[in-house]
Amino acid sequence: MSRCLLLVVAFSIAIEAAGPSWGTWGLWSLECASCPGAISRGRTRVCIPGDDLSTCSGSRIELEQCQNCTGQWSEWVDGGECSDTCGHCGRITRTRQCVNAAGCPAATCEGLDTEPSPTACDSGEVCLFPRVACCEGVKTASVLDKRFYCHKE
């Protein structure tokens, strides 16, 4: 009989030693960068109560402040070749970069990163028929050159 009593005592000690513990943290609720205007994001963990139904100390929720990850556009940079040769129709494609704010893994900027340059890059001579003579300006004649040009007003 003393043998059984000894087992019960050992089992009782093992139960008393098992206290409450936290499970692992779950995934963050959202990515700050993918949710413009977000103030914070959170994650949770589960308390595994002790055998005496005691609870864990500390919080089951963890919050993290989102940083303002709105990027800033760099200046436009012209690049490439002129897209046309006449009538003030030609444009060079220009590009710009979305620059990350400090501490942001991936900033977002509103708008496009490429566009045609607002100013024509060709000589301004008129285009030949069947094309429109001038994409910008009006058709004018140069008596000295004996040529037609597209003159911007």
Contact 66, 30 (CB under 8 A): no
54-65 confidence digits (pLDDT tens): 788 888 898 887
Is 94's pLDDT higher than 70?
A: yes
Judge whether residue 148 has pLDDT over 90: no
The DSSP secondary structure of 95-136, one letter per residue, reads E--EEPPTT-SS-B-SS-SEEE-SS--S--BPPPTTS-S-SS
Residue 72 has pLDDT above 70, yes or no: yes
SS3 3: helix
9-57 tens-digit pLDDT = 333 344 444 678 888 998 887 666 666 666 777 889 998 887 776 788 8
